[in-house]
Structure 1
């Protein structure tokens, strides 16, 4: 039998300090598959392009370098790579992240063993710009997630860890959208697998992070992601819990930034969209706030009594 073909789409912009680590971590994976990498360099002004070209000379046709001119923006850059992707499976990676050994083989075996699984993710270690380990991306463990669960619990999946079936690249690649909308799209075509072992690395708060530079826009795209789910695919209770969890996130953000106007703005929108009315929607949001506060309290308590546990970037 011929080996499966895997196409890895990598977007990068001014990441000269990270891009070599990223690409080598992909191309040096030990896996029984034909792995090709597409790199979309979004008109970098540093040495990113020179580094990728040098790696192209080393790895040959396994690495295709696309130099954008002019700058396309992160969303359009990845969209074009996905349109070019060929093969049986596709992965998405940001140029400042990287993979750990064994990742691709573990995920390929997972998808081939579970034909109804649409995409498989893994946990990730979180690292700073210097590469020092901070903690873990999430506390999910080994789980299966369907569309309803992903909507109710919100986004805790690491985008740079995903491997999905190439047949699922159509339908969600138009327009600006955050990772959560892509995850929700994948969940419309089968359940999502999550491997609790960290097999990727995610750099926190790097220069160019949309969460840092365009937090308001990311929030609007998150709401768009929730609205992108066809209502006939989920119950009113699933949808109400999804928007209640969104309001929980807004509440935490408003408290951290002392921005009550932010909370008032989104409360009106969430109330208008909820199928349950104000009182029940408020109760759902408060329940989610209390649940998350309890989890945070438990983590602080375990730290105080000396039990070592890595900090999580996202709690489910």
Structure 2
């Protein structure tokens, strides 16, 4: 049997402290696959480029370095790499994240066993800039995720963990400004999404240059755009209303963290106007979401069973 061909697309910019760990974690995977790694280096000026060049000399044709001059921006950088990808399977990784041993092999086996699965993700450990473990990315466990389920509970998928079929490439190689959540929703239109509950990757929390950390309002607008991108005939009114309620739950927690009640008022008006259930019942759904997450957080704090206390995205 011929080995499956996998292309891993990595984007980086000024990540000299992380990029070697990232690339070695991919190239040293033992997966029985023909592996190639494409690195989009968006004009780094801190020594990142020189590290990539040294690794390319070591790993040969398995690692290709594309230095962008001038800068392309993260979205266009990744899209260019995706259009260069070859083979049956494609993965995406941010240059400050990395994979754990066995990650790629587990996911290749998963997709081989489940031909109806559009893409497979995995949980991740969360780490700080020094690499110290903080907790887990999500609490999803081993699940199959349908489009309605992904809309109702919102995004908790780790983008640097994804492996998807190359036949779905058009969904990813889109220069339009969008969040990964919008792509995940599009993938779920093509087939269910798999999620492996065991951490198989590592995600660095709020590193410098993170869009979530530096452009939070823009992220909210793009998250809203992602919800609106779902064809209304593909989900029920209940699915759509619960997706809106989950979004407003996230805004509620953000408004508390930033002590900005105006943020909640602004988005509540937009959510109520869009919801097929109106303001009263949507408020009930939001409150139920808030209580559900608070209950999970409380249960983790008082648990004596070793339940993970620090989860970045509770579902």
How many residue pairs end up in the alignment? 314
In the alignment, which residue of structure 2 is the partner of 1:234? 235
In the alignment, which residue of structure 2 is the partner of 1:217? 218
In the alignment, which residue of structure 2 is the partner of 1:270? 271
Question: What SS does the aligned partner of 1:188 have?
Answer: helix
Deviations 1:169-193 (A, max 9, x none): 1045231111111111111111011
> Mapping of 1:155-166 within 5 angstroms?
155-166=155-166
In the alignment, which residue of structure 2 is the partner of 1:30? 30
What is the CA–CA distance in structure 2 between the aligned matches of 1:84 and 1:221, rounded to whole Å? 26
Q: CA deviation at 1:309?
A: 3.1
2:193 aligned with 1:208: no
Q: CA deviation at 1:307?
A: 5.0
Deviations 1:158-212 (A, max 9, x none): 0000000011110452311111111111111110111011110001111111111
Deviations 1:267-314 (A, max 9, x none): 111111111111111111111111111111212222xx6956341111
> Mapping of 1:185-196 within 5 angstroms?
185-196=186-197
Cα–Cα, structure 1 residues 6 and 306, in superposed 2: closer, same or farther, change >3 Å? closer
In the alignment, which residue of structure 1 is the partner of 2:258? 257
| TM-score relative to the length of structure 1 | 0.97
CA-atom RMSD, angstroms? 1.2
In the alignment, which residue of structure 1 is the partner of 2:109? 109
Gaps (5+ residues) in structure 2?
none
What is the CA–CA distance in structure 2 between the aligned matches of 1:306 and 1:114, rounded to whole Å? 32
What is the CA–CA distance in structure 2 between the aligned matches of 1:310 and 1:298, rounded to whole Å? 9
What is the CA–CA distance in structure 2 between the aligned matches of 1:136 and 1:278, rounded to whole Å? 34
Question: What SS does the aligned partner of 2:190 have?
Answer: coil
| TM-score relative to the length of structure 2 | 0.97
* Divergent runs of 4+, >6 A: none
In the alignment, which residue of structure 1 is the partner of 2:302? 301
Deviations 1:26-55 (A, max 9, x none): 001001110101100011111010010111
